[in-house]
Structure 1
Amino acid sequence: MEMINGFLSVFEPLTFIYLLIGVLAGSVLGVLPGLTATMGVAVLTPLTFWLPPSQGFAMLIGVYNSALWAGGITAILINTPGTPASIASTFDGYAMTKRGEAGIALGINTIYSVIGGLFSTLVLAVFSFPLSNFALGFGPSEYFAVSIWGITMMAAVSNGSVIKGLILGVAGLLVSTIGIDPMLGFKRFTFGNTNLLDGISFVPVLIGMFGLSEILYQISTYRKEEQRSSEVLSRIRIGSVFMKWTRYAATIPSTIMSSVVSVIVGAIPGAGGDIASIICWGQAKKMSKKSEEFGKGSVEGLASSCTANNGVIGGALTTMLTLGIPGDAVTAVLIGSLMVYGIQPGPAMFVENQPLVMTIIALMVMANLIILVFGLATSKISTKILLVNQKTIWVTVIILCVVGSFALNNSFYDVVFMVIGGLLGFLFRKLDFPAGPFILGLLLGKLVESNLRRGLSLTQGSYIDFFNRPITLTIFGLIILSLVWSFKKKKITATGTT
């Protein structure tokens, strides 16, 4: 009965209103280049802590889903992906716009993003509970291995070299040791500052690295002549968003393939929509009887990449909720949100907080249905969002970063952590270092350390137990495979874009 109530709670007026607000905010963030889903969820997370978990997550789930969908609007209209997940949508979407089919392309983006989102939600609903039951048997060695796998996968799929990713992953682990020793209660690296007893506050650093750093980077690379003028956008004609049923029918095989592949990619710790969309576009091209049209305005190509955009969400949430390991950068932020609420993602969540799990599943379904109606209804005015002054956006985001960081604990030190995180994120961006592994190392550091030390205490200091348990050994094998696979990543990307 509690599970049913959790599913139905999405229809409570306030929960539904916050979901609508999240979808609207995410659509604006997704359309504007540079303002990613990760940034949006990170910046808005502090604003949800005064709300009950169901209402707070309604806003964040709305932002997550709609930002990935809306990123395709910019990719289609001006050949600039609004979010990294929409990179592959530029391959065919912009070509359709140039030949006068902008409306149809926007319709495809909305319809197929929703298809991918709903399919991935179905996978989340079907597989999350069995996976959580399986994970209940995990011991310290398994959780240690899974945590390390998450960090190495984030390093493997991030832009830049794998070595840089691993360096920052280790740096995040080291920073996570600041504060009270989780096993013995000793002070570590606090330098007598009581504000460091609880360690480095995760959410402010995350807001800085994904919010403030992006604004600093945009300011540093700003060129006035690069701004899209209203004259350019006014020349785009948005016609009908629907096409003939025969064209929809032709996309069925590639849509099914993209739905399945994107969920699998999303479930891999550290992977995301950009990887999924490129892989799915490449596979759709191989499957198609009209492969020569790909990259020139192919409906099949655009449908496959749009399906993959939102298809990763259910897989990423499945990994996050069942194992406590983020499937992508956005779910890393969502883990921080749950922890502030006092909820630890993982198999125990499916025992202690089943209603919230069902609420999240219901929110996913409802968010996609809202996107379907909202996206089709507003296609003709989508260009208006692109006319927002960029400097206004910068000021707004910076204010939200400062206010949100301070409001977490009413602490000036959290603002300091946010600014330091922003400066580090900006430096990482300039030096082509991926920030994701650092954030993941900081988030999972205590989990890695506590399970390693707990496992060693159970075996009296022997590491043998970490290698003679089948699940642990399998995960270590996946870690090695992920690092080897990362060196093939560029080759996969190149194959997908040819």
Structure 2
Amino acid sequence: MTLFDGFLLALSQMTEPYNLLLLGAGVLAGLLVGAIPGFSITMAVVIVLPFTYGMETTPGLAIMLGVMVGGISGGLVSAMLLGIPGTPASVATTFDGLPMVRKGEQGYALGLGLWASCIGGFVSGAVLFVLAPPLGQIGLEIGPWGYFCLILFALTITASLSDGNMIKGLIAACIGLLATAVGEDQVNGITRLTFGNGDLDGGFAYLPILIGVFAFSQLLSDMPTRAAARRTLSADAATNVRIPHLRVLKQIVKHWLLTLRSIAIGVFVGVLPAAGASISNLISYDQARKNSKNPEAFGTGTEEGIIAPESTNNATMGGALMVLVALGIPGDAAAAAVLAALLVHDVAPSPTFMTERPDVVYVILLAFVIGHIFVLLLQSAALKIFIRIVGIPIYILAGVILLYTGMGVFAINNTTFDIWTMFLFGMVGYLMMRFNFPLAPLILGTVLGPIGEVNLMRAMQISPDLMNFITRPWALLFLTMAILSLLFPFAKARSKSGYWKYFGAVSFLLIAIPMFMMQGSLRPIVGAALIVAAVWTAYRKFSNTSHTHEDLRHG
């Protein structure tokens, strides 16, 4: 079967009313699950998985991919309306989404998130099939050294998410890293920091920490007094409930470069196994703020702070799925559930999957793309109901939210220990907010800790030589980017004086070095282009400085 024949067969299957109905039902279920804090996308996909056993391959994949797409998009609802991310992929959405909603711009904020998510999904779904083979090869090349350096690069975001207080940001990140160190390590199974408590052997689950830190801290800070508890989340909850689609699209077109850059970040992180949207949305938000003309507006309800993370998280899922069909490596837990569904139907993804079963590959691609059309239609209608939430008194919402989050947390392992974990980190988050510690670095440390530890152990088991972190090109690339990311705030503050004005040129030059170390012919070409960019940037800075000195002499 040729690729074109496979596409025609998949298209005929995915346009059948039965399969479209299942896809729409999966999207709706995912939207509901994603909008409820405490219920993860993976949980929803795993629950749906047994129902696909008796289905054919196409209907089973349609409903599961619908749940995935709906879940990743539904997380923005609670993130914006309540300040509590429905999924880890919506953590960064709360930073500007909630402030914009509380300004009375509910429809505009939710519309920005909705359209950015769908555009991210459309672009990644359209492009990634073409890029799947080379992207999959990159994922195999990086190795544990590169993955660990990628974690170091991501952790440098802490400095940018600390609102000018790097020390407090680093402390918050260390709290998150410490939380992940409790229990058995994932490689050798040795227990740490349990103090003889058997409940701690399994460590702290990520979801109770996330819900505790965000839900408790946000709800407790919203109702410090009885009078405050009786007010609503928005003083203008009954107005502006319509999404201004034309206004939203104009704003996204205005920030087209930001959107494309955010999608590229999502795709890149998505092809890295075990990374996922919980990392990419924070990286995208950080890069958006660093490259913005008005970085001080971030955190106050700016459009850029919503477009960046929401266009990234859906693109990340597209990358995870394409690596799955290209190499059989799930990019995240939800993609692993899709892999299980494929195996149930005797379909085993591999590097030859695209040539052997192009019909199934195109079913996955088409279901992912069409699923975003359902998201656009269903969520646009459902948002009118969701927006009414902000008109309910906070004390009523608090009780309902805590009930559902408690149920969701308990359902992870069916143990009350996870509920106590949620309470514990809820108090930690509340105290951190009271003393002006940022919450995002804590969550970032919690997400990245286990991934970094596992890859560091694997690297050391393969070879204890630390020079591998420099001699391996991908590790050197991410290590260089981590150092440059830490220096960027200093360079930006001193960009008009001394040698700091050449920071951009030096950055291009340093990044070009590992590109020349990589295999193939395309990457050295990219390295050469970076050197040209470095020379041009340095020349422009030098020329501008010379003209300034000349003007001062004549002035």
Partner of 2:37: 40
Partner of 1:36: none
> For 1:140, what is the secondary structure of its paired residue?
helix
Q: CA deviation at 1:220?
A: 2.9
Task: Supply the distance in 2 between the matched residues of 1:70 and 1:316 (Cα, whole angstroms).
Answer: 20
Partner of 2:475: 472
Pairs within 5 Å for 1:159-170: 159=163, 161-170=165-174
Task: Supply the distance in 1 between the matched residues of 2:237 and 2:33 (Cα, whole angstroms).
Answer: 22
> For 2:437, what is the secondary structure of its paired residue?
coil
Task: Supply the distance in 1 between the matched residues of 2:28 and 2:455 (Cα, whole angstroms).
Answer: 40
Task: Supply the distance in 2 between the matched residues of 1:435 and 1:226 (Cα, whole angstroms).
Answer: 25
Q: CA deviation at 1:472?
A: 1.0
Partner of 2:232: 227
Please state if 1:84 is matched with 2:92: no
Q: CA deviation at 1:141?
A: 1.3
Please state if 1:202 is matched with 2:199: no
Partner AA of 2:455 in structure 1: N
Task: Assess if the C-alpha contact under 8 Å between 1:211 and 1:422 holds in 2.
Answer: yes
Match of 2:49 among 47, 52, 66: 52
Please state if 1:414 is matched with 2:418: yes
1:275-312 deviation per Cα after TM superposition (whole angstroms, max 9, x unaligned): 577789859xxxxxxxxxxxxxxxxx97x887656422
Structure 2: 5+ residue runs without aligned partners?
Answer: 51-60, 84-91, 270-278, 295-301, 325-330, 341-347, 496-555
Partner AA of 1:485 in structure 2: F
Q: In 2 relative to 1, CA 208–385 (structure 1 residues): closer, same or farther, beyond 3 Å?
A: closer
- How many pairs align? 433
Partner of 1:391: 395
Partner AA of 2:484 in structure 1: L
Task: Assess if the C-alpha contact under 8 Å between 1:177 and 1:188 holds in 2.
Answer: yes
Pairs within 5 Å for 1:331-346: 335=332
Task: Assess if the C-alpha contact under 8 Å between 1:149 and 1:478 holds in 2.
Answer: yes
Q: In 2 relative to 1, CA 370–225 (structure 1 residues): closer, same or farther, beyond 3 Å?
A: same
> For 2:195, what is the secondary structure of its paired residue?
coil
Partner AA of 1:426 in structure 2: Y
> For 1:192, what is the secondary structure of its paired residue?
coil
Task: Supply the distance in 2 between the matched residues of 1:120 and 1:223 (Cα, whole angstroms).
Answer: 43
Task: Supply the distance in 1 between the matched residues of 2:101 and 2:212 (Cα, whole angstroms).
Answer: 29
Task: Assess if the C-alpha contact under 8 Å between 2:222 and 2:228 holds in 1.
Answer: no
Q: CA deviation at 1:135?
A: 1.5
Q: Which is bigger in relative contact order (C-alpha 8 A, separation at least 6)?
A: 1
Task: Assess if the C-alpha contact under 8 Å between 1:179 and 1:199 holds in 2.
Answer: yes
TM-score, L = length of structure 2: 0.60
Task: Supply the distance in 1 between the matched residues of 2:248 and 2:48 (Cα, whole angstroms).
Answer: 41
Pairs within 5 Å for 1:341-490: 364-374=368-378, 384-459=388-463, 461-486=464-489
Partner AA of 2:257 in structure 1: M
Task: Assess if the C-alpha contact under 8 Å between 2:33 and 2:40 holds in 1.
Answer: no
Task: Assess if the C-alpha contact under 8 Å between 1:124 and 1:314 holds in 2.
Answer: no
Q: CA deviation at 1:140?
A: 2.3
Paired-residue identity, %? 25
> For 1:223, what is the secondary structure of its paired residue?
helix
Task: Supply the distance in 1 between the matched residues of 2:45 and 2:197 (Cα, whole angstroms).
Answer: 29
Q: In 2 relative to 1, CA 350–358 (structure 1 residues): closer, same or farther, beyond 3 Å?
A: farther
Task: Supply the distance in 2 between the matched residues of 1:307 and 1:137 (Cα, whole angstroms).
Answer: 31
> For 2:47, what is the secondary structure of its paired residue?
coil
Task: Assess if the C-alpha contact under 8 Å between 2:206 and 2:447 holds in 1.
Answer: yes
Task: Supply the distance in 2 between the matched residues of 1:358 and 1:139 (Cα, whole angstroms).
Answer: 29
Task: Assess if the C-alpha contact under 8 Å between 1:155 and 1:165 holds in 2.
Answer: yes
1:154-200 deviation per Cα after TM superposition (whole angstroms, max 9, x unaligned): 55345563333333333333332322344444332222222222222
Task: Assess if the C-alpha contact under 8 Å between 1:276 and 1:312 holds in 2.
Answer: no
1:408-452 deviation per Cα after TM superposition (whole angstroms, max 9, x unaligned): 222111111121122222222223323333333333333322332
Partner of 2:26: 18
Partner of 2:312: 312
Q: In 2 relative to 1, CA 197–6 (structure 1 residues): closer, same or farther, beyond 3 Å?
A: farther
Partner AA of 1:207 in structure 2: I
Partner of 1:290: none
Structure 1: 5+ residue runs without aligned partners?
Answer: 30-38, 76-80, 284-300, 325-333, 493-498
1:195-223 deviation per Cα after TM superposition (whole angstroms, max 9, x unaligned): 22222222222222233333223233772
Please state if 1:257 is matched with 2:257: yes
Match of 1:148 among 148, 152, 172: 152
Task: Supply the distance in 1 between the matched residues of 2:134 and 2:395 (Cα, whole angstroms).
Answer: 48
Task: Assess if the C-alpha contact under 8 Å between 1:178 and 1:200 holds in 2.
Answer: yes
Larger radius of gyration: 2
Q: CA deviation at 1:487?
A: 5.4
Q: CA deviation at 1:252?
A: 8.9
TM-score, L = length of structure 1: 0.66
